[in-house]
């Protein structure tokens, strides 16, 4: 009971229709120069007449280039990964590549390896791994068969090219801003310990405090969620003596703001708060959040650049591209009273 759908036209059909060989059709399709103008026109007419579309699968088989790039990511619902993937997709499409996405629930080494293998089997020309966790970064050490790979936020590991945002610098911007406002020191609500970004921000925070010769308080644990920020905010309010907090991301900062508000602690009157990411909502928090801005689109674009370079010129040296974050001052920070 199969559908009587006539099969789609192939090159040979177009060739017959235009009265040329399939090779000439191929030349027309690939903008080969050596085709007479009227022949080209005839072929093009035949193509539109038949509604012919070239079969990229067949093409990929012989050229060994699928013009598809794989992306392995974690929780693509989050603003950061989603934005990065958006940037990747835009850049890839401009360069004539497709994007095949695998979104993992856990970034353990095995899952990442499996995902990469899976994509390799599908014939992707290269893979971008959005690997912000230590475990994911570990999965990239001994990779299979010369598949070009670029990591976003990978470790300093030299086994793969990396594009990342300078987390250390971002954190320092935040802390220095607060110190300049006269705060004696700055508390920190950190991200989960297996995340490289959390690590970098923590280090940057610590380094900036030490550079200024200030005491380094115990960081508060967090897991990026607003809820974790909320809990941390409650603790901070209870501590007393806290005047400035650097939160490892904006969502947690939101939780902190909420908790402080509930506890009747004015921001920035009593406590100044700085976030990280600059999600679109931050500008409208109560109060609008001073934060470190990461340009995820740029990260995505650079990934594709690096990856395509690796694909095109073969295995060059591994690159490491560090993007500087910027700082956005809004109303959640103020000079200490």
Partner DNA sequence: CCGCAAGATGTGCTCGGTCATATGTCCCTC
Partner DNA sequence: GAGGGACATATGACCGAGCACATCTTGCGG
| Contacting residues toward DNA, per CB under 7 A | 7-8, 10-12, 19-24, 26-27, 29-30, 33-36, 39-40, 52, 54-55, 58-59, 61-64
User: Which of 31, 314, 317, 337 touches a copy of itself (CB under 8 A)?
Assistant: 314
117 binds, among DNA, a copy of itself, none (CB under 5 to 8 A by kind): a copy of itself
CA distance 275 to 289: 7
User: Which of 19, 144, 182, 269 touches a copy of itself (CB under 8 A)?
Assistant: 144
Task: Give min distance, CB of 101 to DNA, in A.
Answer: 23
User: Which of 210, 211, 283, 312 touches a copy of itself (CB under 8 A)?
Assistant: 283
User: Which of 16, 35, 42, 76 touches a copy of itself (CB under 8 A)?
Assistant: 76
User: Which of 93, 238, 312, 324 touches a copy of itself (CB under 8 A)?
Assistant: 93
Task: Give min distance, CB of 303 to DNA, in A.
Answer: 26
331 binds, among a copy of itself, DNA, none (CB under 5 to 8 A by kind): none
Residues 9-25, buried b or exposed e (16+ Cβ, 10 A)?
bbbebbbebbebeeebb
CA distance 20 to 46: 11
What does the block give as tokens for 175?
A: 């802390």
User: Nearer to DNA by C-beta: 22 or 176?
Assistant: 22
173 binds, among DNA, a copy of itself, none (CB under 5 to 8 A by kind): none
Task: Give min distance, CB of 80 to a copy of itself, in A.
Answer: 10
Q: Which of residues 3-22 bind a copy of itself (CB under 8 A)?
A: 3, 5, 8
User: Which of 121, 213, 215, 241 touches a copy of itself (CB under 8 A)?
Assistant: 121
User: Nearer to DNA by C-beta: 20 or 254?
Assistant: 20
Residue 198: other Cβ atoms inside 10 A: 25
235 binds, among DNA, a copy of itself, none (CB under 5 to 8 A by kind): none
Sequence-separated (6 or more) residues with CB below 8 Å from residue 73: 81, 84, 85, 101, 102, 103, 104, 129, 130
Instruction: Specify whether the CB–CB gap between 24 and 51 falls below 8 A.
Output: no
CA distance 8 to 12: 11
> Footprint of a copy of itself on this chain (CB under 8 A)?
2-3, 5, 8, 51, 53-58, 60-61, 66, 68, 75-77, 79, 82-83, 85-86, 89-90, 93, 98-103, 105, 117, 120-123, 144-146, 225-227, 229-230, 251, 254-255, 257-258, 261, 280-281, 283-286, 288, 314-315
């Amino acid at each position: 009971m199969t559908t009587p759908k006539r099969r789609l036209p192939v090159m040979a059909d177009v060739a017959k229709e235009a009265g040329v060989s399939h090779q000439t059709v191929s030349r027309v399709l690939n903008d080969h120069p050596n085709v007479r103008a009227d022949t080209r026109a005839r072929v093009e007419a035949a193509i539109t007449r038949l509604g012919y579309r070239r079969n990229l699968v067949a093409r990929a088989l012989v050229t060994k280039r699928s013009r598809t790039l794989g992306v392995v990511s974690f929780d693509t619902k989050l603003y950061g990964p989603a934005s990065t993937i958006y940037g990747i997709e835009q850049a890839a499409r401009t360069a004539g590549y497709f994007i095949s996405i695998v979104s993992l629930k856990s970034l353990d080494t095995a899952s990442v390896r499996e995902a990469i293998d899976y994509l390799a089997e599908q014939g992707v020309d290269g893979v971008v791994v959005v690997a912000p966790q230590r475990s994911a970064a570990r999965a990239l050490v001994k990779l299979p068969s010369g598949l070009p790979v670029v990591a976003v936020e990978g470790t300093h590991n030299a086994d793969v090219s990396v594009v990342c945002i300078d987390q250390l610098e971002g954190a320092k911007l935040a802390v220095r801003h607060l110190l300049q406002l006269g705060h004696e020191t700055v508390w920190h609500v950190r991200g989960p310990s297996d995340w490289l970004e959390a690590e970098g921000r923590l280090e940057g925070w610590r380094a900036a405090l030490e550079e200024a010769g200030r005491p380094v308080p115990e960081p508060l644990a967090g897991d990026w969620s607003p809820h974790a920020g909320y809990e941390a905010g409650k603790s901070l309010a209870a501590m007393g003596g806290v005047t400035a907090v650097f939160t490892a991301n904006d969502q947690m900062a939101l939780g902190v703001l909420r908790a402080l508000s509930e506890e009747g602690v004015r921001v920035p009157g009593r406590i100044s708060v700085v976030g990280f990411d600059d999600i679109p909502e931050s500008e409208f928090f109560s109060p609008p959040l001073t934060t470190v801005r990461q340009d995820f689109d740029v990260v995505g674009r650079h990934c594709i650049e690096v990856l395509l370079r690796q694909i095109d010129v073969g295995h060059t040296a591994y690159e490491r591209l560090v993007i500087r974050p910027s700082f956005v001052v809004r109303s959640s920070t103020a000079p200490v009273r």
